[in-house]
Structure 1
């Protein structure tokens, strides 16, 4: 007998189609929710930045209504808490830049050398030990570094240079240089390791030595990222607060002697914020004037960094 095949029911296919449509609808809803959440995070970041700028401007404008911009940026004396009052911010800017330049002079050579060693010369066992140690160093609170500077580094500097003040710029430069060292090492090492291996192999094929490849090929190829790590470290040094407050002292005077006591902009903000200055007074408004100046300085450094990176960026396929 010949059996005739019965047509299969279309119900299972319909149920499968319904499940697929439902799953696709849920996926679209989830994607829309994630898109909204990410957009919300971005908007909050922008609003926070704009809010900080507005607060600084609103609080600093009354100060500049009483103190001229010429006196503020050209004056060489900063004594807003004493009589007679002087509002020249140059001593604070000079102290801040001394700490930033001194710490960069210490951290950049050692940081770049360490990054090159870890990327090109160190064995995996050594790299696995050194990198976590640097990450631990980066996680130490800044106030601990400041305490170490006071009880250990300052006495050493005083023994080596008797004419130096106990709290001085060199002390702050050393401790801040140690603090920004892990940032330079970590970022530079990652950039050096991301250089394509084909560039190294091509240099070796031409008879170059290990040192030639490192200095003539790898470092120039990663120069944009290395410079970015330097600028980020300098920005961190400019904005450092507690370690500099403890190590550098609180004497705001215009000097280029690293063995003198100085005061940075962040240290001054800490000093006035923790005092008994009446709110709304011109002395209290100096906090926001100094903070606005520090914000503008950091912004200019970031703009300079972006310009340098755009000129030096290398792209590889």
Structure 2
């Protein structure tokens, strides 16, 4: 699974830990030293060996692969070089496949294959040798650094702090990268589609924009029907999951006996572990046909694929998110608030309404926001239970679609990536991101307001 240098780094790192720990016991009197215990010195040697060696090896691999690919491309004879860059990359991939023992339907130059093999061999030997030598040198250096003046505990704490900081930076940069990529692709989309038509258009039909000269080749990119379907299904789901989840949380936290709570809570949380495709099958095979037959018996017209079917099943799916989180925050309300309420003559129900729910409101709002985000981002249930047609309707018995379903639909299939149809997926993504961000900001304001009041 790992290459030889990684195994060697792990081995010598483990060896340096043991040797550093034993060496510190011989050279340092720990009762008079505040630099740490023997384990700290062992971990100090381990970090000194493994971290620089691993970074060096990874950098070597990245740099060598890049250099090898450039050199292999330069070694291709002129008669094999295609004009298009994409075909050059394909030729390079075929050369690599043949050099690694595979076969290719296209003819590849033997001189380039031999050049790739030779460079790969020298890269492997050089990378392995340098990494192993560096690990040994770092191991010896770390041993020599162990003395009473070394504050190993402080070094380890700074290292852990650096790792935590780098992890935070990576998370932030990842978020920024996602946003910037969405903005970049969305800008290209709005170069072809009017901003007004997208945000205020009442027809969504991007599947028609496949090629020039086709009927209605410009397509229709009015996003209102897509977002209307998203909000309709989310509202139906929250109408079911909100009351049931909150009431079950109140019951489990305030009324249920320990035995009842021990049985019911895990049972509810099992719903969160059911795959969404199973919910989709349940909606498509049971709930959808049941709603259609019931409506026909009552004289209504209903489709087997409807917003109501998708919303109800989605509501069942997100009940655990609300119930479990709300139960935890209600149970975390200090007992002295309950006792004070009982002390002034309030009943249990009055205490729940006037004291406990307001005190737990920040957490309850957070659970509702998590459930709403989960409902907005759901795809499989909507595909199987609500369909793909983008209709601007408030009738829950008709089929609708959602933003996430349309994003998936737009990004699959045989079409150019830089087409208007594909760019529409990024426009939907940045719009949905902005709306979700706005909802979270509103929720945070509510949480902050009541948290200041009850803390």
**TM-score normalized by structure 1?**
0.91
Distance 2:415 2:186 in 1: 16
Match of 2:156 in 1: 30
Distance 1:232 1:22 in 2: 43
Tell me the SS of whatever aligns to 1:166: coil
Distance 1:37 1:16 in 2: 27
Is this contact kept in 2: 1:167–1:247, CA < 8 A? yes
Tell me the alpha carbon deviations over residues 154-188 of structure 1, each in whole angstroms, 9 at most, x when there is no partner.
Answer: 11111111211111100111111111110100111
**TM-score normalized by structure 2?**
0.64
Following superposition, the deviation at residue 236 of structure 1 comes to 1.3
The one of 224, 230, 233 equivalent to 1:99 is 233
Is this contact kept in 1: 2:185–2:423, CA < 8 A? yes
Shifted more, 17-26 versus 108-117: the winner is: 17-26
Distance 2:393 2:454 in 1: 47
Matching of residues 149-160 of structure 1 within 5 Å? 149-160=283-294
Following superposition, the deviation at residue 132 of structure 1 comes to 1.4
Residues 280 and 206 (structure 1 numbering): CA distance in 2 closer, same or farther, change over 3 Å?
same
Match of 2:403 in 1: 265
2:246 corresponds to 1:112 = yes
Distance 1:22 1:131 in 2: 45
The one of 270, 274, 277 equivalent to 1:136 is 270
2:305 corresponds to 1:167 = yes
Tell me the alpha carbon deviations over residues 74-130 of structure 1, each in whole angstroms, 9 at most, x when there is no partner.
Answer: 000001112422110000010001011111111111011000000000011111112
Residues 21 and 292 (structure 1 numbering): CA distance in 2 closer, same or farther, change over 3 Å?
closer
Tell me the SS of whatever aligns to 2:304: coil
Residues 62 and 20 (structure 1 numbering): CA distance in 2 closer, same or farther, change over 3 Å?
closer
Unaligned runs of 5+ in 1: 1-13
Unaligned runs of 5+ in 2: 1-27, 38-149, 209-214
Is this contact kept in 2: 1:221–1:314, CA < 8 A? no
Matching of residues 165-244 of structure 1 within 5 Å? 165-244=303-382
The one of 43, 60, 63 equivalent to 2:169 is 43
Residues 120 and 278 (structure 1 numbering): CA distance in 2 closer, same or farther, change over 3 Å?
same
Tell me the alpha carbon deviations over residues 44-74 of structure 1, each in whole angstroms, 9 at most, x when there is no partner.
Answer: 1001101101111111111100111100000
Tell me the alpha carbon deviations over residues 13-52 of structure 1, each in whole angstroms, 9 at most, x when there is no partner.
Answer: x945565445481211110111011111101100110110
Distance 1:195 1:91 in 2: 42
Distance 1:249 1:180 in 2: 20
Distance 1:165 1:276 in 2: 30
Distance 2:29 2:292 in 1: 84
Is this contact kept in 1: 2:305–2:386, CA < 8 A? yes
Distance 1:136 1:17 in 2: 52
Distance 1:289 1:143 in 2: 27
Following superposition, the deviation at residue 134 of structure 1 comes to 2.1
Distance 2:375 2:401 in 1: 14
2:445 corresponds to 1:311 = no
Larger Rg: 2
Tell me the alpha carbon deviations over residues 248-282 of structure 1, each in whole angstroms, 9 at most, x when there is no partner.
Answer: 11110110000000010111112222322321111
Distance 2:168 2:358 in 1: 35
Is this contact kept in 2: 1:67–1:87, CA < 8 A? yes
Residues 15 and 313 (structure 1 numbering): CA distance in 2 closer, same or farther, change over 3 Å?
closer
Distance 2:36 2:323 in 1: 50
**Poorly superposed stretches of 4+, deviation over 3 Å:** 14-24, 314-317
Is this contact kept in 2: 1:224–1:309, CA < 8 A? yes
Match of 1:6 in 2: none
Matching of residues 15-26 of structure 1 within 5 Å? 15-16=29-30, 19-21=33-35, 23=37, 25-26=151-152
The one of 421, 427, 434 equivalent to 1:296 is 434
Distance 1:165 1:107 in 2: 23
Match of 2:119 in 1: none
**How many residues matched?**
305
